[in-house]
Amino acid sequence: MDIPAQVLPWQQDIWQHWQQQKARQRLPHAILLTGIPGVGKRQLALAFAQALLCQQVQSDGQACGHCSQCHLVTHQQHPDLHWIQPEREGGGILIDAMRQLRQEVNQSAQQSGYRLFILAPAEALNTYAANALLKSLEEPGAATLFILISDQSARVLPTIKSRCQHWQVKTPAADMALAWLAKVKNWPPEQAKMALRLASGAPLQAVDCLDTDYQQHRQAFFNALDHLLKGFLAIQAAHTLQTWSLEANLQLYLSWLKDTLVYQMTQETNRLRHLDQVHLIQESAVLLTRLQIFKLYQLGIQLSRQVQNKTNPNKALLLETLWLQSAHLLKAENNQNSLVPGYLFLSH
């Protein structure tokens, strides 16, 4: 038997609502599923898609995992389940993909059941692609469901949003998340707590955070940062971190700055994400002025946008820019702390 995608404990309320809508034949044509990274949005979308295609749905509404339809889904061969994603991680979803989608929407279902289009992440749609998608959302045809997934719903165009029913997968309470982690991973409780903190409370992200590769990368990143703060050559840091994705580097960079700001403003360590790096965070909070933190944060955001908007960004060059510019900004003398209020960058 193929194990179907599972509905996670903190997704049960959404699942129940969808079951009721399905029972009343009131399912919308398009759903926008949001939530922070690592709360299982794709898993939930897949579980629902599979349940709509399954021939022997279980009493809780989940797919059986052994019928012919389930078999096709788990082997990623179901002709009526379409995934639309960027061609490369962190890239955009382009208009060509939407043209192809339009053709698929115009065809009828291959297996005389539901047709499902899961699009992720929705914020990766550029304006042209989003406009092309609107047509499909407006004229979806019978028994068709679009599920758009987004970590950053503020970046999804309002015209797209207004055509979708919005559901948010909430970050679970810590005890629920820890109970789930204890089931799927045999970690000591302290380790699970640390991973959950690093993942901002998102359980699936927490699993990735304790991955050995990620831990090594994180340590290499903080070592490089330590060097940078001490005034060593930034270019070396860029080279040591090149083997990791630019997105992962930028994510660590931005979360380091958030921690630095939080500590600078509150002098409290219990709200820090990188609690095990407390000395480095404290050092950063002493060394950096508020304006420097703000400028460094702006730099990180600017580079993140470049990665998202370019078809084929030169990642090595962008990483080098990150470290060289950071070194430059760190050298600039600034004592204008009062100019930049903290909320300006905590909202990101």
Q: Residues in the site for Zn ion, rule: CB under 5 A?
A: 54, 63-64, 67, 70
Between 145 and 254, whose beta carbon lies closer to Zn ion?
145
Between 44 and 63, whose beta carbon lies closer to Zn ion?
63
CB 115 within 8 A of CB 144: yes
The whole-angstrom separation of Cα 73 and Cα 51 is 10
Of 209, 142, 202, nearest in space to 178 by CA: 202
Euclidean distance between the first and final Cα of the chain, in Å?
43
The nearest distance, CB 46 to Zn ion, in angstroms, is: 13
The whole-angstrom separation of Cα 174 and Cα 196 is 8
Between 54 and 133, whose beta carbon lies closer to Zn ion?
54
Backbone angles phi, psi at 84, to 5 degrees: -120, 115
Of 26, 106, 36, nearest in space to 255 by CA: 36
The whole-angstrom separation of Cα 34 and Cα 153 is 6
The nearest distance, CB 145 to Zn ion, in angstroms, is: 17
Looking up tokens 């404990």, which residue turns up?
A: 9
The whole-angstrom separation of Cα 256 and Cα 168 is 27
Between 43 and 298, whose beta carbon lies closer to Zn ion?
43
Between 64 and 157, whose beta carbon lies closer to Zn ion?
64
Between 63 and 319, whose beta carbon lies closer to Zn ion?
63
Backbone angles phi, psi at 165, to 5 degrees: -85, 130
Mention every residue, 6+ apart, whose C-beta is less than 8 A from residue 180. 8, 9, 10, 172, 203
The nearest distance, CB 7 to Zn ion, in angstroms, is: 15
**Neighbour-count burial of 49, counting CB atoms closer than 10 A to its CB (0-12 exposed, 13-18 middle, 19+ buried):** buried
The nearest distance, CB 61 to Zn ion, in angstroms, is: 12
Between 79 and 341, whose beta carbon lies closer to Zn ion?
79
The nearest distance, CB 4 to Zn ion, in angstroms, is: 7
The nearest distance, CB 62 to Zn ion, in angstroms, is: 9
The nearest distance, CB 69 to Zn ion, in angstroms, is: 5
